[in-house]
Amino acid sequence: MALLGLDNFTNAVVNAGPAALADLAIVEDEIQEVVETITKQLALLKVDKFEADGHIPRSSFGGGERVAWVSTNYSGAHRATVETLQNTRDRLMEFQAACQDTRQLLTDIDQSSATEMKKHALALDALRNSTSGYWGEDN
């Protein structure tokens, strides 16, 4: 594959794939750490357990006119926090799957491109090394 100095270029393309995709793997690892942290926190914030253990009776908020509002919003805030964490985790997991799919697609494309480049380089070498006569002159 010495024709036109394609050896270095072909090797660079073939070897660039894994190095270029390393950053994507790092992103996937970071996402996994965040997903695991959120999952652990969600285990601590179980709605059923909170409703029992974290319940604060309305009387604990005093006797003012806003007691019902404060009590309701206290429980609602906990539910909203849990739902937000669950949704964030779910979206991160979807993003992580998209990163994995992208990495695989890029790997496949890189391998396909490298194979095609090698074929073209071999064909060019074959043309360069063939006889200079015309096919059919002697036949």
**Which pLDDT belongs to residue 91?**
93
Which residue, chain included where needed, has tokens 């594959």? 1
CA 81 – CA 139 distance, rounded (Å): 84
* Rounded distance between C-alpha atoms, residue 55 and residue 73, angstroms: 12
Residue boundaries of the structural domains of the chain: 3-125
- Give dist(CA 54, CA 75) in Å, integer: 9
Q: Decide: pTM greater than 0.85.
A: no
pLDDT tens column, 57-72 = 667 767 777 777 777 7
Range from 25-29, 48-52, 64-68, 89-93 carrying the lowest mean pLDDT = 48-52
Q: For residue range 90-127, what is the model confidence (pLDDT) as tens digits? A: 999 999 898 888 888 888 888 888 888 888 888 888 88
Q: How many CB atoms lie within 10 A of CB 69?
A: 11
